[in-house]
Structures are given as C-alpha cells and as structure tokens.
Structure 1
Amino acid sequence: MSTESGKAMFSLAQYEAVMGEIETGTKTFEAKLAEVIPAADSVSSQWYVNHVLAELLQWIARKTVEVGTEILNFIRDVLKGATAPIFMFMDAYKWTDFKAAANGVSADVTTQNLVIDNSDWSGKGHEAYLGAAAAQSAAAGRIGSVAKSVSDNLMLCAGAGLAFYVVVAGVIAKLIVEVAAATAAISSAVFSAVGAMIFLESGAVNTMAIATAVGALAAFLGTQVNALITLHGEAVDPTSFPNGVWPNSNSAQYNDGTVNDGDADWSLKD
C-alpha cells in the first residue's frame, strides 16, 4: 500500500492479495475453532484431570468458540463491502478518460488555437466567435477539473478500503495463532486453564482493533461528503455554466461578417 502526501493509495494487486489472505484466514480460523471443544472433551476424559478442572476446561472451550464465532461473524459482516474498493478503482480509471477527453476539447477550442487574423475578419461576428470559443473552452476545462476530482476522490476511497482490510487481515492472522495456542493449552492439561484464557482475554482487543478501523474508515468516508458538495458546486458554477447549463455556442452577432480586405474567401449571407 503506497502513500502520496500521507494519504493511502490503492494497488489492485495488493488488494487482491490481502483479500486472498482474508479468505484463507477466515477458513483457517473457523477450522481452528472447530478443534477447541473436541480438545476439551478429550482432555477432560483423562483420569488425571479432576472434575473441577474438567468443567473449567469445558467452560473455557465453549466460551472460546462463542467469542470466536462472534468475531468471525463480525468479520464476515465487514467483508460484505469488500468489492467496493475494486469498483471505486475501476471507476476512478474511467474518470481519467473523461478528464483527458474534456481537457483535449478545452485545449483545442482555446482562442489561441482558433485565433483568426483580424486583418482579414473583424467586427462583432469576429469578437462573438472568439468569445463563444473561450466559453466552450472554459466549460470543457471545468468538466476536466470535475472529472479529475472525482477520479482522485474515488482512488482515495479505494485506498482507505485497502488500508482497512489490511487491518482485518492482520487481526485474523493474530486470531489464528491465539486460538491455536488456546487449543494446545487445553490439550496439554498442564496449566491448561490459564493458557486457554489467552484467546478470551485477547478477543475483546482484537474486536476493538477492527471496530477502531471501522470507525476510522467511516470518518474518512464522511469527509468525502464535503468533496461531493464541492464537486456539485463546480458542476453548477455559473462562471463556466451560465444559468447552470452549457454555454451557448451560437450568437445573433454572427451575422456581422465585416471583412477588411474587400475580397473575403467566404462571406455570410442573409
């Protein structure tokens, strides 16, 4: 996950790798949870494990599975939006095409590119033509600016999604290690009760880590609302879009086709 100016950027390859880790990790974690109660049942049946310890181990095993299942369901819930960053990335890429097209039009119809020697053509028609061209160029340029802003914000949102799921992948990896350690502690029957409590003690911490990441992601996406408002303002800005519409390319003043050389290559006729 790369960064630019302190902001998370999106890498499709890294995102796919992270999601692969999460998918594999959730399956492994679920399989490890399934081993906990059988391990407690097995050790509790041993002759050297007294009744009190056996009941304690059974209780710890059940609570471990209960807490682990709740965490697993929580992780599955946050994975429901896992495809969103990919679509954001794809849409961001498409908006760069819109930006390029709009900026190309803006550059092509600037007064510099459409300048006509006023020694051959002058008057209100000439001035109206250049004025209309400038308005078209400004409007197309504004579309390019809006497209760039949309693309940038979509990419930042995708990057935030990647950062969030990196945290989730890390938590899952930690959970797998801890539930495996708890199962081993239960099976050993040597300080098994103390060792088995490792997972229960860390369960709340791991859940809080994901919840904190969810909160951070929500806060970041909340700031994007301001970006949407700004984009709306740019889209309806009367500077480039008079009365909220595309500037008129026609003018009643085009009927003034004053020429100065007395022998124009073209002329306007009523």
Structure 2
Amino acid sequence: MAFNAAQYEATTQKLTTGIQTLSEKVSQVGPKAESTANHWYVPDFIGDALIWAANKVIEFGNWVLGKLKELMEGVAAPVYMAIHTWTWQSDIRGGASGVAGTTTADQLQSLKHWTGEAATSYTNAVKAQPIAAAKIGTTADKVATGLALCTTAGVAFYVSLAVILAQYIVTMIGAIAALGSVVFSWAGAALIVGDTSVSVGYIITAVTALAALLGAQAQQMAAIEGEARDMTTYPNGHWPVAAPGA
C-alpha cells in the first residue's frame, strides 16, 4: 500500500482531536454521577452503584488517555520511514545500479581505443566493481522493502487507533447518559463498566499485533546488517581495488 501523506495527516488530526474530546468526556463522568446520586429520591444503594461505576469508568478512561498519548509519541514515524524508503530506493539503490551498469566490461569506453596486455589486465581488475555496486543496490532494496513494510504497519496501526478512539468516545457518551439516569442498578453499573473497558482490550490487541510485526522487521534488519558486513564482495571490508597490481 502506497503511503498517502494527506490521508495520514487526516488520521493524526482525528486522533489529536479525539484525545481532547475524550479527556473532556472523562472529566464529566464524576460530576454527572455525583449530581445524580445526590438527588433526594435516589436510594443509597443506587447512589453507591453510581459512584462505583463512575470511578471505574474514570479509571478506564484515564488508562486509555494515557496509553493513547504514549502511542502518539511515535505518530511521525511512518512519515519518516516513507521518506527514507524513497531515499533508499531512488538515491542509494538507483545510484548503485547506475554504477554497476556503467562499470561492466562492455560499457567501459576506454577499451574501444585500448588493447593489449594492459587493457586485459585492467578489464580483469575492474570486474569486481559492478559486483560491489550491485551488492549495494541489493542491500538498499532490502532496506527499502523493510521500511515500506514498517510504514504500512505504522499507518494501519494509527488508523485502527483512530477507529477505536471514535468508538470509545461514543461509549463514553453513553456511559455519561446512563450515569445521569435515575433508572439504575448494580447490574446496570456493571454493564457500563464492561462497555467502557472493551476498548482497553482492543488497544492492547492492536499494540501486541504491531509489536509482533515490527519484531519480525527487526529480524530482517539484523539480516541486512549481516549482509552489509559480508566481506565476500568487499575484500577486508573495503571497496575492491580498480587498478591492476602489475
């Protein structure tokens, strides 16, 4: 999936606005429950159920807010990964493939005017150049692929968070309305708490799925580092010598 900067910006804006809205809703829970519980016609056991439910709703709401704010610290990561994906593909891989193409034996212009033992020796010496350049291109392509997958995973993760947040705000609005109702019971209190705790599980599931995917990508990056340290193409860790020894 190609990265769409405008769509992703819209997603991050929804998250930012949603977090502010959720914070406002959480702050309304306590006063609403206390106002209802303090009515003269509300029995003590109903008032106790209201306050208990309100405290639980606030507890879950604050957890969700804290987790969302924590996760938002990495919201810019997909943007930077998309930029670096382009750099690795177009600049590094493209440049390396250009070097590989222009240093092959049939592309060396000097050999059209130069023959003999020296020319042959030079041709043999330069054989390692396109191979070394192609190695850079291959590694760059793998890095770009890993970054692209991480970008896609990051975008999908924050889109899912935006959906979860929107649903949670609706649930919170319903909880506030229920806490303002005089038709209440301990069963109703448990139902409200259950509804507001569902999104906690959704967030944990989303984070777990993202961590698993990025863990796999970390393994791929480790393999790329190992490939970059391969001395086969770069003798003693250096670019192969392009001039004949004698």
TM-score with structure 1 setting the length: 0.82
Does residue 127 (structure 1) correspond to residue 103 (structure 2)? The answer is no
Q: Partner of 1:186 in structure 2?
A: 179
Q: Distance in 1 between matches of 2:96 and 2:155?
A: 30
Q: 1:93 & 1:38 partners in 2: Cα distance?
A: 52
Name the SS of the counterpart of 1:252 in structure 2.
Answer: coil
Against the structure 1 CA distance between its residues 226 and 51, is the aligned structure 2 distance closer, same or farther, given a 3 Å change threshold? closer
Deviating above 6 A after TM superposition, structure 1's stretches of 4 or more consecutive aligned residues are none
Deviation at 1:195, TM superposition (A): 4.7
User: Equivalences for 1:60-139 in 2 at 5 Å?
Assistant: 60-96=53-89, 97-114=91-108, 116-117=111-112, 121-123=115-117, 125-139=118-132
Task: Give distance in 2, aligned partners of 1:227 and 1:52.
Answer: 58
Question: Which of 16-25 and 74-83 deviates more?
Answer: 74-83
- The match for 2:240 is 247
Shift of 1:13: 2.5
Matches within 5 A, 1:17-32: 17-32=10-25
Aligned residues of 1:182 and 1:195 also touching (Cα < 8 A): no
Q: Distance in 2 between matches of 1:68 and 1:156?
A: 32
Label 1:26 to 1:142 Cα distance change in 2 as closer, same or farther (>3 A).
Answer: same
Which residue does the alignment assign to 1:266?
Answer: none
Residues in 1 aligned to 2:152 and 2:43: alpha-carbon distance in whole angstroms: 54
Q: Deviations over 1:205-250 (max 9, x none)?
A: 3112111221111111111232223222332333421232110011
TM-score by length of 2: 0.90
- Comparing 207-216 with 23-32, greater Cα deviation is found at 207-216
Q: For residues 206 and 168 of structure 2, what CA distance do their matches in structure 1 show?
A: 16
Aligned residues: 244
Residues 175-221 of structure 1, C-alpha deviation per residue, up to 9 Å, x if partnerless?
Answer: 10111001111112224765554441034331121112211111111
* One-letter code aligned to 1:105: V
- In the TM superposition, what are the counterparts of 1:140-155 in structure 2 within 5 Å? 140-155=133-148
Q: Give the structure with the higher percent helix.
A: 2
Q: Which moved more, 1:101-110 or 1:220-229?
A: 220-229
1:107 positional shift: 0.9
Cα deviation digits, residues 118-170 of structure 1 (max 9, x gap): 9x6122x2222222332111111111111111111111111111111122111
Q: Structure 2: where are the runs of 5+ without partners? A: none
Quote how far apart the aligned CAs of 1:117 are: 4.6
Q: 1:110 to 1:199 in 2, by over 3 A?
A: farther
Identity %: 36
For structure 1, which segment, 200-209 or 134-143, has the greater mean C-alpha deviation from structure 2 after superposition? Answer: 200-209
Q: Which ranges of structure 1 fall in alignment gaps of 5 or more residues?
A: 3-8, 254-270
Q: Which has the larger radius of gyration?
A: 1
Q: Which residue of 1 aligns with 2:51?
A: 58
What is the rounded CA distance, in whole Å, between the counterparts of 1:182 and 1:143 in structure 2? 58
